[in-house]
Amino acid sequence: MAQSELNSSDSAVDTPAAPPLESTQGEPTQDRPAGPPRGKPPAPQGKPTPAEAPPRAEEDDVDDGAEEQPTAPRRRLIPRRALEGTGACFSSLAFHLVLLILLALIMTPEAVRNEILPITADPIDIEEEEERLETQVLDESIVPSINQAVAIARSDPAPQGAQGVVVGSVPPPESVQVPVGRKAEAEMVTVNDPYLDTPPSKVLIQEAPAGMLGDARAVVDDYQEAMDRITRELLMLLDKRRVCVVWCFDRSESMKDDQQEIRDRIERVYTELGLSGRANGGALTTAVTSYGEAFGVHTEKPTARVDIIKQAIASIPIDNSGKEMMCSAITQSIALHRKEAKGRQMVLILVTDETGEKEDNVVNLELAIAEAKDAGCIVYTLGREAVFGYPYAYMRWQHPGTGEIHWLPVDRGPETGFIEQLQTNGFRRRHDAFASGFGPYEQARIARETGGIFFMLPSMETSIVRGDNRRYELEAMRSYRPDLRSRGEIAEENLQSLLRTRINEVIASLNPWNDAVRPHVELRVHFSPDPETFAKQAVEERAKSIRYVDYLVKAENVFNSEEMIYARSQETSRRWQANYDLLHAQILAYKVRNFEYAAYLDWFLKNPKVVPLTKEPDKRLVHWDITTRKETLTGELTDSMIAQSKVLFQKVMDEHPGTPWAARAQWELKRGFGVHLVPHYRAPYRNYTGPPIPIPKL
C-alpha cells in the first residue's frame, strides 16, 4: 500500500552539538585481606589451641628409673575436730543453692536464655567471620524507593552503570563490593513466616527515606494490569496519609478509545479502594484535567464521587491541532491543585500515547519536574513504548469519503534526550517503528525523578506502519538503559567523548529532517509510470545517489579512523558501544545500496520492464516503487563491501543479543543489498462531494 508524502511533518529533528562520553569508572572492589607469606606458618596469636598446647603429664606416669622417696606426713591446716558437725550445714547450703539456680532458669524469659546459651558454643574465628562478611553480595533486586511498600511492586533499580552514576542515586557502600575473583559462600538459612513479625505497613512507609528515585520502566500487558498496579500504589499511599489524585489526559483523537477504557475501569478501581476502608471519609479525592494545544480542567475541585469523575473523563474533547503540550500541562495541573491537596499526598496520573511537543518538552520538562518535587507530587504515566532512536511512528488513516490512505506521524520517541541513531533508512527518512524497550525520555524521566512509575504498554497498535511488537527482556536491556539525567548534564558529559562527538556529527550530516541536509541525502522511492517522466526522474536521482555516496564515504572514514577505533575500545557504555557498532555497519550497507540504486536505474532505462497498465477488477498502475532484494548488479565493485557489512551486522547481533540494536541489524541483513523497481497498482479513489473532512493530526 502506498505511503503518502507527509509534508506537514517535515520539521527538522535536532541533533545536539556533539554530545559525547566521559569514561566511567566503577566502584573499586576491595582486595582480599593479605595472609601470611606462602611457605611460612603464621605466627601464633593469642592462646594456643588445644592441638598446639604441650601434652600434660598424667598422674599415673612414673619414671621407672627414679628412686622412690619416703613421703613425709602432711600437716593439716584445719584440725579434724573443727570440721566435725559441719556436714549438715554444707548439705543444706548446697541444696538451697541448686534450688535457687533451678528457679532462676524457670523464671528467665526464653529470649534471654537464647542469648545466654550460645556462650557455651564454639568460639567464633573473628578473622574468618570478617572475611565472610566482607564478601557478602547485595541483592540488586532490593531497591529502596519513595516508600517501602511502593517498592514491593518495582524491580528496575535507578539507572546507573554504563554512563556513570545518575544524579540523585546512591552508590552501594564499598563494604559490600565483591572482591575480584571471589564469591560469597552460600549458607543454609531457615526462614520463618515473613508475616509473623512484620510491623504494620504504616510503620514501613513512615520509616522509608524520602526523595528516592522511581521506576522508569514497568512493562504491563494492558490497561487492566496497569490499573491494578495503580490501585495497589494508591492503597499503599493511603496507609500513610490522605491522597489527592489528578488524572491528566492527552486529548488527541488516537486517545479516545483509551479514555473510554479507563473510564470503564475506574469505577472498579475506586470501589476496591473504598472497600479497603482506607478511602472512606474523603481520604481519597480526584480531579481531572486534559491537554492538547490548550489546557483544560474538567472538575471544579477534587472530589470523592466516582460518578463525577467518570462524567469528567467522558467530557474530554478531541483536539485536532495535532499538538500535545504535555510538560506545560503537568506543571499547570500540579500548580492548580496544590492548594486543595495541602495536607495530602499529591499524585498525578498522566495518560498519553505520545511524547508531546518537542519545543514544549525541551523548554518545560525541568520546570515540570521542579514543580512536582516542590509540591511533593508523585507522577505515574500510562504511556507507550518509544520508537528506537527515532521521534515518530506512523499510523494508517483512511479518508472516509475518498478511501485515500494516509500515514500520519505520531510523536513516540526517542527514548533518549538526544537522538543516537541514524534518521535515514539509506534512501530517505525512516518510516519504521522499531521498539526501543523503553518509554519516551520525557515521560520516563519525570516518573523516575518524582518517585513514580512509567507503565509501558509495549504492544504496538495494528495500524502502525511496520510496527514491531518485540518485547525485550529486562535483564538483556539493563546495561543499555538510556541516560535519564537532564539534557544539560547529558550534553556536557558527551562533549568530553570523541566517540560520542563523532557519532553525533555523522547523524547530523545524514539527517533528512534537516532542511539543509535533506536535498543531498533523500532519494526518490516512487517513480512515475509515464515513460518520459520516469526517464527524467531516473537521471536526476541517479546523479543524486552518486553524490550521496560521497557523504557516506566520509562518514565511513570517520568510523574507520584509528582514533575512533581506539575510542570504541575504551568506551565503557554498552549503549554507546552498540551505537557505534550498528551505525558502522549501516553506513557501509547504505553505501552499497546507493551504488546499486544508481546501477539499477541505469539498467532499467536501458531495459524497461513491460507491465500492464491495469489489473482486474479496477486497479491501475499508479507508480513504480523502489525496494530492496538480495540480488545485486555491481558485482566486484561491492562484493568486498557487502562481505564486510555482513560481518559487522553479525557482530552487532553476537555482541548485543536481545536488544533493539540486534533486531535492527537482523532487519538490515534481511533487506538485502540489491535494489529493484516493482509496479504498484491501486483502485481509483472515490469521488467525494460531501463536507470537507480534514486529515487529522494525531
Q: Is the pTM of this model over 0.85?
A: no
Cell 504498484 belongs to 680
pLDDT greater than 70 at residue 10: no
d(C-alpha 578, C-alpha 656), whole Å:
7
Cell 521521534 belongs to 391
Instruction: Tell me the DSSP string of 610-635.
Output: ---SEETTTEEEEEEEEEEES--S-T
Tell me the domain boundaries of the chain: 202-385+437-465, 496-698
At 211, is the pLDDT very low, low, confident or very high (cuts 50, 70, 90)? Answer: low
Pick left, alpha or beta for residue 451 (phi over 0 → left; psi -120 to 50 → alpha; otherwise beta).
Answer: left
pLDDT greater than 60 at residue 566: yes
Q: What is the pLDDT of residues 29-41, one digit of tens each?
A: 344 334 434 443 3
Question: Which one has a higher pLDDT value, 174 or 328?
Answer: 328
Q: What is the pLDDT of residues 82-108, one digit of tens each?
A: 445 555 555 666 666 655 655 555 444
Q: Centre a 10 Å sphere on the Cβ of residue 397 and count the other Cβ atoms it contains.
A: 18
Q: What is the pLDDT of residues 610-639, one digit of tens each?
A: 999 999 899 999 999 999 999 999 999 999
Contacts 24+ apart (CB under 8 A), 630-637: 630/672, 630/673, 630/674, 631/672, 631/674, 631/676, 632/592, 632/596, 632/673, 632/674, 633/596, 633/599, 633/600, 633/603, 633/674, 634/592, 634/595, 634/596, 634/599, 637/595
Secondary structure tally for the chain: helices H, strands E: 21, 13
The percentage of residues in the chain with a pLDDT greater than 90, rounded to a whole number, is: 52
pLDDT greater than 70 at residue 74: no
Question: Which one has a higher pLDDT value, 245 or 162?
Answer: 245
Q: Which residues are within 8 A (CB) of 9 and not within 5 positions of it... i.e. 6 or more apart?
A: 392, 409
Cα–Cα separations (whole angstroms), residue 278 to 241, 281, 286, 294, 404: 9, 8, 15, 35, 54
Look at residue 262 in the predicted model and tell me its pLDDT. Answer: 87
Q: For residue 628, list its beta bridge partners.
A: 675
Q: Which residues are within 8 A (CB) of 412 and not within 5 positions of it... i.e. 6 or more apart?
A: 353, 354, 355, 384, 385, 386, 387, 391, 392, 393, 433, 440
Three cell numbers, residue 201: 505497613
d(C-alpha 682, C-alpha 684), whole Å:
6
* CATH tag, 202-385+437-465: 3.40.50.410
Look at residue 466 in the predicted model and tell me its pLDDT. Answer: 57
Q: Do 645 and 588 form a contact (C-beta atoms < 8 A)?
A: yes
Look at residue 61 in the predicted model and tell me its pLDDT. Answer: 37
Look at residue 215 in the predicted model and tell me its pLDDT. Answer: 75
Identity of residue 246: V
pLDDT greater than 80 at residue 45: no
Nearest-CA neighbor of 422 among 544, 523, 555, 567?
A: 555
Q: Region 371-387: what's the mean pLDDT?
A: 94
Cell 513504548 belongs to 385
pLDDT greater than 50 at residue 418: yes
Pick left, alpha or beta for residue 214 (phi over 0 → left; psi -120 to 50 → alpha; otherwise beta).
Answer: beta
217, containing H or E segment: strand 215-219
Mean pLDDT of the chain: 76
Report, in this order, helix, strand and coil percent for the chain, each rounded to 5: 40, 15, 45
The percentage of residues in the chain with a pLDDT greater than 70, rounded to a whole number, is: 66
Look at residue 267 in the predicted model and tell me its pLDDT. Answer: 79
Check the CA dihedral 194-200-201-205 and report its sign.
Answer: negative
Q: What is the number of alpha carbons within 13 Å of residue 585 lying toward its C-beta?
A: 24
Q: Do 265 and 227 form a contact (C-beta atoms < 8 A)?
A: yes
